[in-house]
């Protein structure tokens, strides 16, 4: 039995209900929001509550009485006796050992819960298809309890639910680190094939969008502390880096790819046959031109008409075989006296040219690729070589935003077409049954400000709405959840909230979260998240250890 810390107080103004109860406790006892407490109830049952608010009250009738009792505001005055005071706690009911949900009774004992009781209260016991998602720490000092938290993987990867969204201020909430922690747990689970249908398999595609963050995930983190190792062991995970990793870097004019990764690191990866340079070839990739217009409002459909004109090889475009010839032909259509068919206005062609020219001069757009030089098309590699437990890291960090959007959209389309059987010649059994796609800075592609005609937005919405049935799972992250398209975040079964600011928590996305929890979001530390998932009976304030792979702190 846990330590008794107080008793229920049911008053005329604050009665206990089937949803909430209140109790008093000594002002010296340290409790925190999210802590679980146990209350004796009728028929030898126990009701569990999660703490939401903690208040301190005294017998002072008003602030004025407190002022007067200090010799009319003398801050140095010490009274002859202290006022009677206590802490008053509000807790939300999350369960009862015998499923009795009538209000708990006045003066019943309130105590701390042990590990088994916490698991029972939060619905963490006997989790089916368990997948580690962090650990809980409750109470302080000698009463502290630490326990692992598992989520039912079917509510994260399907078929019961799918998709993860993580929000938090950049650099403080460690969004990428938490996403990678979950992905590492998933890969470990599938490598061990524990509690998994042997017909199921998984692969991962992630985008490196900042510096060198994800460009050494198959190298061990030599700075991992003993405490971190202990936590990994408690969670049933090995403190090892990712396995089966391949890196894809943007091609450049010189031997070194266009990346923030150090030259010697990239060379080592190429020598080990674990790295490739990706290119886009006109004849194979012209149909993806629409991706360059993801953030362009084309309400009149003129850009769409031009793209259709090009990919159906109308006019002279049927004779084009490379990007430079394509741009030259577009130049001709921009001239009023060119002699070209002018069904589409010259001004529209000029707008089209302004949008595509800057991006198409990037060295990623090439005349050909040489397989022997580890050059590839991303679509070909995904269609023909993506295997179970593979981790593809696609580096887009050094590309401009339009080019990043193009690559992201191209990969999303390739994965979708692969799962629909529209590319590649492999049988269904040869293709991973689930493919997890991780992208940070989701706001670039699926914010409320992105034009509704954006092909990338349409792809993302389609994945969140239909991807679960196809085995395409989206793990996404952004600074501000409120900025993301409602249909995208609304279809995510799991949400993780990191540290954010007061303006963000005032938005509608946070209206269902108790005010104390919202205020806690402005104070969360790195490595700490508030998690929401259908199997949890309450929001959980979880922690997770440092990444197992090599970290780059200074670029």
Question: CB 63: neighbour CB atoms within 10 A?
Answer: 8
Total residue count of the chain as it appears in this document: 555
**Which two three-digit tokens encode residue 480?**
């501000």
Looking at 298-400, list the stretches that DSSP marks H as alpha helix, in order from N- to C-terminal side.
Answer: 302-311, 323-333, 346-360, 378-385
The pLDDT, as a whole number, for residue 73 is 76
Compute φ and ψ for 244, nearest 5 degrees.
60, 45
Report how far residue 65's alpha carbon sits from residue 58's, in angstroms, rounded to the nearest whole number: 11
pLDDT at 81: 66
3-state helix, strand, coil in the chain (%, to 5): 35, 25, 45
Joined together, the tokens standing for residue 51 give 């703490």
* Phi, psi (rounded to 5 degrees) for 296: -105, 125
Cross-strand partners of 463: none
At residue 555, the pLDDT reads 47
Output the pLDDT for position 453. 84
Tell me how far CA of residue 185 lies from CA of 188, 247, 476, in angstroms: 5, 20, 17
The architecture (CATH level 2) of 149-279+369-543 comes to 3-Layer(aba) Sandwich (3.40)
DSSP string covering 114-127: -HHHHHHHHT-TT-
In the block, residue with structure tokens 């969360």: 524
Phi and psi dihedrals of 95, rounded to 5? 170, 165
The residue among 209, 268, 250 whose CA lies nearest residue 444 is 209
Written as six digits, the tokens of 186 are 């998933």
Q: Where are the domains of the chain?
A: 4-122, 149-279+369-543, 283-360
- Written as six digits, the tokens of 444 are 């670039």
Q: Within 13 Å of residue 471, how many CA atoms lie on the same side as its CB?
A: 19
SS3 481: helix
pLDDT of residue 554: 53
What is the spatial distance between Cα 449 and Cα 103, in angstroms, rounded to a whole number? 47
Closest residue by Cα to residue 279 from 369, 216, 401? 369
Separation of alpha carbons 70 and 52, rounded Å: 32
| Range list of H helices, 361-497 | 378-385, 401-419, 443-446, 455-470, 486-490
**Tokens representing 511?**
């209206």
- Taking the C-alpha atoms of residue 261 and residue 245, their distance in angstroms, rounded to an integer, is 16
User: For residue 155, what pLDDT is reported?
Assistant: 93
Rounded distance between C-alpha atoms, residue 110 and residue 107, angstroms: 9
Taking CA atoms, 265 is separated from 218, 249, 256, 270, in Å, by: 12, 12, 11, 9
Centre a 10 Å sphere on the Cβ of residue 375 and count the other Cβ atoms it contains. 15
Nearest C-alpha neighbor of 236 from the set 200, 195, 205 = 195
CB atoms inside a 10 Å sphere around CB 541: 22
CA distance 355 to 168: 32
Q: Which residues contact 406 (CB under 8 A, 6 or more apart)?
A: 288, 291, 292, 294, 359
The residues, ordered by sequence, that sit 6+ positions from 346 with a Cβ below 8 Å of its Cβ are 333, 334, 335, 336
**Using one digit for the tens of pLDDT, what is the confidence trace for 501-552?**
999 999 999 998 888 889 889 988 888 899 999 999 889 999 999 999 998 8
Q: What is the predicted pLDDT for the residue at 80?
A: 67
Instruction: Map 253-319 to HEC letters.
Output: CCCCCCCCCCHHHHHHHHHCCCEEEECEEHHHHHHHHHHHHCCCCCCCCHHHHHHHHHHCCCHHHHH
Q: Is the dihedral of CA 73, 74, 76, 81 positive or negative?
A: negative
The span from the CA of 306 to the CA of 329, in Å, is 13
Residues ≥6 apart with Cβ < 8 Å to 482: 504, 507, 508, 509
How large is the greatest C-alpha to C-alpha distance in the chain, in angstroms? 101
Q: What are φ and ψ of residue 516, in 5° steps?
A: -65, -40
- Can you list the residues of the chain whose pLDDT is less than 50? 173, 555
C-alpha dist (Å) from residue 341 to 116, 330, 333, 354 = 76, 12, 8, 20
């Amino acid at each position: 039995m846990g330590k008794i810390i107080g008793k229920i107080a049911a008053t005329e103004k604050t009665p206990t209900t089937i949803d909430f109860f209140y109790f008093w406790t000594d002002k010296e006892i340290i409790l925190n929001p999210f802590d679980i407490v146990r209350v004796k109830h009728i028929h030898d049952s126990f009701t569990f509550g999660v703490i939401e608010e903690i208040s301190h009250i005294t017998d002072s009738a008003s602030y004025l009485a407190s002022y007067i009792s200090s010799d009319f505001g003398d801050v140095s005055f010490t009274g002859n006796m202290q006022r009677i005071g206590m802490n008053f706690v509000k807790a939300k009911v999350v369960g009862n050992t015998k499923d009795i949900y009538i209000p708990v009774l006045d003066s019943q004992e309130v105590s701390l819960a042990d590990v088994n009781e916490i698991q029972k209260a939060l619905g963490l016991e006997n989790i089916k298809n368990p997948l580690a998602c962090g650990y809980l720490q409750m109470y302080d000092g000698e009463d502290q309890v630490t326990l692992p938290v598992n989520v039912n993987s079917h509510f994260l990867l399907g078929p019961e639910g799918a998709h993860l969204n993580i929000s938090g201020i950049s650099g403080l909430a460690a969004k990428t680190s938490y996403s990678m922690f979950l992905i590492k747990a998933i890969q470990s689970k599938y490598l061990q094939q524990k509690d998994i249908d042997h017909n199921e398999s998984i692969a991962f595609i992630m985008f490196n969008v900042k510096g060198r963050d994800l460009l050494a995930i198959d190298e061990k983190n030599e700075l991992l502390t003993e405490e971190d190792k202990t936590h990994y062991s408690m969670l049933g995970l090995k403190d090892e880096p990712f396995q089966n990793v391949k890196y894809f870097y943007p091609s450049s004019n010189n031997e070194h790819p266009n990346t923030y990764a150090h030259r010697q690191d990239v060379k080592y990866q190429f020598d080990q046959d674990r790295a490739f340079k990706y290119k886009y070839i006109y004849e194979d990739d012209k149909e993806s031109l629409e991706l360059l217009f993801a953030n362009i409002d084309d309400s009149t459909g003129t850009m769409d008409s031009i793209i259709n004109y090009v990919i159906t090889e109308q006019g002279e475009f049927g004779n084009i075989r490379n990007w430079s010839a394509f741009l030259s032909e577009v130049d001709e259509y921009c001239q009023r006296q060119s002699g070209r068919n002018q069904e589409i206005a010259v001004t529209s062609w000029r707008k089209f040219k302004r949008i595509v020219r800057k991006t198409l001069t990037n060295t990623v757009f090439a005349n050909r690729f040489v397989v022997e030089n580890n050059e590839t098309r991303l679509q070909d590699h995904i269609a023909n070589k993506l295997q179970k437990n593979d981790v593809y890291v696609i580096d887009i960090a050094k590309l401009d935003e339009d080019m990043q959007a193009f690559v992201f959209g191209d990969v999303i389309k390739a994965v979708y077409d692969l799962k629909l059987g529209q590319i590649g010649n492999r049988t269904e059994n040869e293709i991973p049954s689930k493919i997890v796609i991780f992208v940070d800075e989701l706001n670039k592609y699926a914010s409320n400000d992105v034009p509704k005609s954006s092909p990338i937005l349409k792809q993302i919405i389609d994945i969140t709405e239909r991807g679960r049935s196809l085995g395409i799972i989206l793990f996404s992250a952004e600074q501000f959840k409120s900025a993301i398209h409602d249909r995208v975040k609304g279809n995510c079964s799991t949400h993780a909230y990191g540290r954010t600011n007061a303006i963000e928590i005032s938005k509608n996305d946070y209206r269902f979260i108790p005010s104390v929890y919202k205020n806690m979001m402005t104070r969360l530390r790195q490595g700490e998240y508030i998690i929401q998932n259908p199997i949890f009976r309450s929001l959980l304030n979880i922690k997770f250890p440092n990444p197992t792979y090599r970290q780059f702190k200074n670029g």
